[in-house]
Amino acid sequence: MTAQPLAEFKQISKTYPNGTVALSEVSFSIEAGDIHAICGENGAGKSTLMKILFGLERPSSGSLVIEGVPTVFASPRDAGAHGIGMVHQHFSLLPSLTVAENIVLGYEPRIGGVLFDRRKARKTVQGLSDRYGLSVDPDALVSSLSVAMQQKVEILKALSREARLLILDEPTAVLTPVETEELFERLIALKREGVTTLFISHKLKEVRALASDVTVLRNGKVSGSAALRDVTDAEITRLAMGRTIAPAKRDTQRARGAVSVSIRNLTRNDLEPAMRVSDICLDIHAGQVIGVAGVDGAGQEGLVRLLSGETQPQHGEIEFNGHQVAGASKAALRKLGFAHLPADRFRAGSAPLLNLMENAIAGAHRSRALNRGPLLRRGAAMEATRKMIETYGVRCSGPTQRIGTLSGGNVQKLVAAREFGSRPSFLIAEEPTRGIDVQAASFVHEQLLALADTGAAILLLTSDLDELIRLSDHIVVMFGGKIVSRIDNYEGLSPEHLGAAMLGLETEYAQ
C-alpha cells in the first residue's frame, strides 16, 4: 500500500484583485520525510504557493490536501497547529526583542498565567539550540545579530512549534559556504527525525546536494516535477527558463587602468567584531574587479560601511579618483561617482513603502535629467523606471506598484538596475545575485563586467565562491578584520582553494 503524501497541491490557482495571475492549476505532492526542492524564476509563483501552504494566502481555486484531508489554513497559527513552519526569505524577527523573546513570541511561558517567565523562555531556547545544533545566544538582541545568525533564530522559531513540514525560502542566500554546509547537515539530521523540508532555491548545485525531488514552476504553472536522479541541471534550467543559460565570465585580457581607489591603513575598532577592520591596505584599478572572501563576521561588513560613508575610520585614508573621502557623506560620494548595491536590499537598498519609480530614482532625483527647476519631471522619471523594469526583467504591474509587494528577487533586480544605471566609476556590489534566478543572475553578471569594461573599479563581496572566482580579477581574503591573503585569479582556482585562507590558514597559492 502506497503511503499517503504529507501534502498535495491540487489544481491550485491564485489571481489577485488587480488581475495578476500568480498561480495557475498547480498540482504536485510532497512525500513525508522528503527534502523536496522548488525551483523557478523570480515571479514564477514559488513564494505565493508557499504562502498558501503556510496560511498567509488563500487560493482562488483548487485545494490543499494535508495527509488526505482537504484543508484551508486561516492563518500561519492555524498552519503551525498542523505542524507547518516557514522560514521566510526576509525575516520576520523583531529587532528590539531578544532571541528568546522572538522564538517564544505568541507562545510565551507565563508565571501564574500572567507574568512572562523569562527564565523558562531562555531554558526552552537553549534546549532547542542544543537539540538541533544551531548555536544562538538567548539573551542577544536580534538587532545585534548578523543576517546568518538571524536565520538560525528563524529556523529555531519554526522548529519550536514542533514543525513536521519546514518551508525554507532561499535559506542559503545569506549564508557563507561553511554555514550552508552546517545548515544542510541540520536539515539531513531533521530528515532522519521525520521532518519534511520544502527547499526553495535558485542554486542547482545546492538543490542536488540536498534534495531528493524537484518541482519546477514557470509563469505560475508546474513545468516539471521529478526525482533529481532522473533530470540534469540543463533540463531543470530549461524547465525554469525555457532555454539554457551561458554563465558570464571575466575577460582575462581586460586592460586595467590607473589606481581609482586607494585604501591605506584603514582601521576602526568597533564593539561589534564584524565591524572591526585593522590596517587595511588595498588598491583597486579602473576596470578591475576585486573580490573579497571571508567567513561571516570577518570584517567585510565593516570595510563596506567605511567605504560607503556609513561609518568613519579612526585611522587611515581612502582616496577616490584623487579625492580624500574618508568620512565623507553618502551624498558626497555619489557626486564623485560612487554606487553601492547593498546585501540587504529591503533594509538598505530600498524603501518598501514607496513605489518602484520613487525607489528607482533615489540618488538621482535632483539630476538635470529628472528636474525642471525645483520640480520633478514625473514623465521622465516614469520613463526611466520603465526602461529599468524592461531591461532587467522586473516582474511587476508598473512603476507605481509599491516595491515592498514584489518578490525579493525582483527588488534585487530593480536596485541593481538603479545602481548600475548610475554609471559609477566605483561600485561596491554585495551579494549582487542573492535570491535571483539563473537568467537574472547571468544578466547581472554581464552588466557588472560591462561596467568594468568601461573603466569602473569594482569591489565584489559575495558568499557564492563560484561567483567570486568567475568574476574577479584578483581576490583578497579577510579574517579577523584584516586582509590575510591576496590571490591572483587563475585557471583552476576553486572554492576549496579559498576555504583554507578564509579560515586564516597558511596557503601556498596566496601572496
Query: What pLDDT is stored for residue 1 in this prediction?
Result: 44
Q: What's the CATH code, domain 7-241?
A: 3.40.50.300
Which CA distances in Å does 283 have to 115, 280, 320? 57, 10, 10
pLDDT tens, the chain, 511 aa long: 457 889 999 999 999 887 888 999 999 999 999 999 999 887 788 889 999 999 999 999 999 999 999 998 999 889 988 989 888 766 778 888 999 999 888 788 888 878 888 899 999 899 888 887 778 889 999 888 877 788 788 888 888 877 889 999 888 766 666 777 878 888 898 888 888 999 998 888 889 999 999 999 998 999 999 999 999 988 888 888 776 666 677 776 677 889 999 999 999 998 777 789 999 999 999 999 999 998 777 899 899 999 999 899 999 999 998 899 998 888 899 889 999 999 887 778 889 899 999 999 887 766 777 777 777 788 888 999 999 999 988 988 899 999 988 877 888 899 999 999 889 999 999 989 887 777 788 889 999 999 999 999 999 998 888 889 989 999 999 988 999 989 888 777 888 778 777 876 655 444 4
What residues are paired with 319 via a beta bridge? 262, 324
CA distance from start to end of the chain? 62
Domain boundaries, the chain: 7-241, 257-337+424-511, 349-420
Query: What pLDDT is stored for residue 408 in this prediction?
Result: 78
Query: What pLDDT is stored for residue 230 in this prediction?
Result: 93
**Which DSSP helix (H) or strand (E) runs through 90?**
none
Q: Are 483 and 475 in contact (CB under 8 A)?
A: no
pLDDT in tens, 9-37: 999 999 988 788 899 999 999 999 999 99
Which residues contact residue 374 at a Cβ distance below 8 angstroms, ignoring those fewer than 6 apart?
A: none
**β-pairing, 110-111 with 196-200?**
unpaired
Rounded to whole angstroms, how far apart are CA atoms 74 and 82? 12
SS3 (DSSP) at 428: strand
Rounded to whole angstroms, how far apart are CA atoms 396 and 384? 15
Q: For the range 401-405, what are the long-range contacts, defined as Cβ-Cβ under 8 Å and sequence gap of 24 or more?
A: 401/355, 401/356, 402/352, 402/353, 402/354, 402/355, 402/356, 403/350, 403/351, 403/352, 403/354, 403/355, 403/356, 403/359, 404/346, 404/350, 404/352, 404/353
> Which among 348, 351, 358, 318 is positioned nearest to 336, based on CA atoms?
318
DSSP string, 223-290: EEEEEGGG--HHHHHHHHHSS--PPP---TTPPP-SEEEEEEEEEE--SSGGG-EEEEEEEEETT-EE
Q: Are 458 and 284 in contact (CB under 8 A)?
A: yes
Rounded to whole angstroms, how far apart are CA atoms 81 and 65? 15
Rounded to whole angstroms, how far apart are CA atoms 502 and 485? 9
Q: Are 101 and 121 in contact (CB under 8 A)?
A: yes
pLDDT above 90 covers a percentage of the chain that reads 41
**Which DSSP helix (H) or strand (E) runs through 71?**
strand 69-71
Rounded to whole angstroms, how far apart are CA atoms 444 and 416? 8
| CATH 3.40.50.720 fits domain 257-337+424-511 | no
> Which among 294, 282, 296, 277 is positioned nearest to 481, based on CA atoms?
277
Q: Are 237 and 204 in contact (CB under 8 A)?
A: yes
**pTM for the model:** 0.71
* Cα-based torsion angle of the residue sequence 493, 245, 179, 79 in order, rounded to the nearest 10 degrees: -170
What residues are paired with 37 via a beta bridge? 199, 214
Within 13 A of 357's CA, how many CA atoms are on the CB side?
16
Query: What pLDDT is stored for residue 509 in this prediction?
Result: 45
Rounded to whole angstroms, how far apart are CA atoms 55 and 78? 7
CA 368 from chain centre, in angstroms, equals: 34
Q: Are 46 and 12 in contact (CB under 8 A)?
A: no
Query: What pLDDT is stored for residue 510 in this prediction?
Result: 47
Q: Please say whether the dihedral angle defined by the alpha carbons of residues 418, 419, 420 and 423, taken in this order, is positive or negative.
A: positive
**β-pairing, 84-87 with 69-71?**
unpaired
Which residues contact residue 298 at a Cβ distance below 8 angstroms, ignoring those fewer than 6 apart?
A: 274, 478, 479, 480, 481, 502
Rounded to whole angstroms, how far apart are CA atoms 184 and 134? 12
Grid cell locating 307: 567605504
pLDDT in tens, 146-177: 777 887 888 888 888 778 899 998 887 666 66
Rounded to whole angstroms, how far apart are CA atoms 376 and 362? 12
